Amino acid sequence: MNSLLITGGRVIDPASGGDAIADVLIRDGRIESIGTGLNATDVTVLHAEGAIVAPGFIDMHVHLREPGFEHAETIESGAKAAAAGGFTTICCMPNTQPINDSATVTSYIVQRAREIAKVNVFPIGAITKGSLGVELAAIGSMREAGIVAISDDGRPVMNARVMRRAMELARALDILVIDHCEDLDLSAGGDMHEGIQSVRLGLHGIPSAAEDVMVARDLLLAELTGARYHVAHLSTSNAVTMVAFAKTRGLPVTCEVTPHHFAITDEELSGYDSNYKMKPPLRCRHDAEAVIEGIVNGTVDAIATDHAPHPGSEKMQEFERCPFGITGLETAIGLSLAELVHKDKIGLMRFVELFTTGPANVLKLDRGTLAPGAPADVTVFDLNSEWTYDVQQSYSKSRNSPFHGRRFRGGPLATIVGGKIAWTKD
């Protein structure tokens, strides 16, 4: 008998709307019951008094770098970082080497994750072969092998006709299409957000319009095809407005935002520190505020990290030569609490929703809830413990975070995956 009893925490479950002090009993990898004064013999007890007990957090946008770039991250190390960040489920983007554009690569990731990952890992398959934007990838076979969505993240499909065909197929297969919205002609040569800061620093800019143009195109194609369509790491004011508009028209359109896009702006990019370089770039204050407004008003469905590890050797270069991307799994809860909850933008129920039922509904996963019978994925976090992020202690194989040394109030305490404790603080 494999049982775990989480006692005395404030249990918040957006799926049922529950918010009360209770115990959670887990048996054989599933939620058995929630209630007060639960007792069971032969159980491991996890004390959660004073903490929040929530469904396991889902990060629907990470890069695990395996296969192909194991010096930057592996399925094992990325999953450890996820667990330490309070995530029980992560979805990994297909831009590995080889690209995850076939059932073979998908099966490898699924198998490897089963063997070694501390959290659930669901692969996302490529839209086009090699993510080259020309021919459709083996989407049907990948779906059978276990992908939960398709995306050419980082190398968006520029050809609208190809995107249309992908969406048509995705609709038939009932699989989500995720797009990294970037018009590559408008963004070409850019290293940061185009604005006063890029002009000041003499760096080439990426205009917000590079994202907006693509979001607009995709929303029109989603309407044309009826596909379930999701905007990855949405970062601009116009994109928030357009997604909200598409939703009012009843389109099956969703979006995610990253903590870094609402926590920091291009104003913080000084000293040419490549840990502030990512795509989409850190936008201006106006955009960051619009993203938060989108979270508050319900336009945003999920918070995702876009965890993008790069080894030091790649980030220790002139700004314009460094690759795009920062790590994010271990700082997501701390940053989101700081910017959203502690600043009274949203309540805890909405906060938990953005990490649980939000992404679960987008992906149609049977997770993100504490309903009896559901997989026993649980995230325990608190609101008040003071801690400082030390990137040198990260479980990730990479160190490219702009949040090294940042002080946080509240963060993950324990991560339970399939009824087993995957990580606890200290």
Partner 1 sequence: MSPGSLLDLESLNRTEIETILTRARFFQPLPKQSYKRFETLRGKMIVNLFFEASTRTRVSFEIAARRLGAETVSIAAQTSSTSKGESLVDTLNTLVAMRPDAIVMRHSASGAPHFLSRHLQIPIVNAGDGTHEHPTQGLLDALTIMDRRMDRESPLEGIRVAIIGDIAHSRVARSNVHLLSRFGADIVLCGPPSLLPRELEHLAPGVRLAYDLPEAIRDADVIMMLRVQLERQHEAPMAAGEYFRFYGLRLEHLALAKPDVIVMHPGPINRGRELSSEVADSQRSVILNQVENGVAVRMAVLERIWA
Q: Please state whether beta strands 3-13 and 18-27 pair in parallel, antiparallel, or not at all (unpaired).
A: antiparallel
Give the residue, chosen from 123, 195, 280, 412, that forms a contact with partner 1 under the rule CB under 8 A: 195
Q: What is the smallest separation between the CB atom of 217 and partner 1, expressed in angstroms?
A: 22
The yes or no reply on residue 250 touching partner 1 (CB under 8 A) is: no
**Closest distance of CB 288 from partner 1, Å:** 17
Question: Minimum distance between the CB of residue 420 and partner 1, rounded to whole angstroms?
Answer: 42
**Cβ of residue 338: shortest distance to partner 1, in angstroms?**
26
Q: How far is CA 51 from the centre of its chain?
A: 23
Identified binder of partner 1 from the candidate list 172, 184, 199, 224, rule CB under 8 A? 199
Is 42 known to be catalytic?
no
- Residue 313 or 393 with smaller CB distance to partner 1: 313
From the CB of 272, what's the least distance to partner 1, in Å? 3
Q: Is 317 in the site for partner 1 (CB under 8 A)?
A: yes
Q: x/- site string to partner 1, residues 296 to 315, per CB under 8 A? A: -----------------x--
| Calpha distance 392→394 (Å, rounded) | 6
Q: Which two tokens stand for residue 64?
A: 């695990």
Give me the residues paired with residue 420 across strands: 417
Q: Which stretch binds partner 1 (CB under 8 A): 108-116, 268-276, 366-374, 379-387?
A: 268-276
Residue among 205 and 410 whose Cβ is closer to partner 1: 205
C-alpha 256 chain-centroid distance: 8
Omega of the bond leading into 67 within 30 degrees of 0 (cis): yes
Which residue, among 292, 278, 391, has the nearest Cα to 339 in the 3D structure? 292
Nearest distance from C-beta of residue 244 to partner 1, angstroms = 27
Show contacts with partner 1 in window 154-193 (CB under 8 A). Answer: 188-189
Which C-beta is closer to partner 1: that of 212 or that of 377? 212
> Considering the rule CB under 8 A, would residue 47 count as an interface residue with partner 1?
no
Question: Segment 269-288, which members bind partner 1 (CB under 8 A)?
Answer: 271-274
**Residue 267 is a binding residue for partner 1 (CB under 8 A):** no
Rule CB under 8 A: say whether 203 interacts with partner 1.
yes
Catalytic residue from among 306, 382, 390, 426: 306
Contact track, partner 1, 385-414, x by CB under 8 A = ------------------------------
Phi-psi region of 379 (alpha: psi -120 to 50; beta: other; left: phi over 0): beta
- Residue 381 has phi, psi (to 5 degrees) of -140, 170
Question: How far is residue 198's CA from residue 326's CA, in Å, rounded to a whole number?
Answer: 19
Q: Is the dihedral of CA 136, 138, 143, 145 positive or negative?
A: negative
Subset of residues 210 to 229 that bind partner 1, contact rule: CB under 8 A:
none
Interface segment toward partner 1; rule CB under 8 A; list 156-164, 317-325, 334-342, 412-420: 317-325
Which of 247, 320, 361, 374 is the binder for partner 1 (CB under 8 A)? 320
Count of chain residues binding partner 1 (CB under 8 A): 23
| Least spacing, CB of residue 317 vs partner 1, in Å | 6
- Residue 318 within binding range of partner 1, rule CB under 8 A: yes
CA 316 – CA 274 distance, rounded (Å): 8
In terms of CB distance, is 200 or 407 closer to partner 1? 200
Question: What is the nearest approach in angstroms of partner 1 to the Cβ of residue 200?
Answer: 6
Which spans of this chain sit near partner 1 (rule: CB under 8 A)?
A: 188-189, 194-196, 198-203, 205, 271-274, 313, 316-321
Active site residues: 306
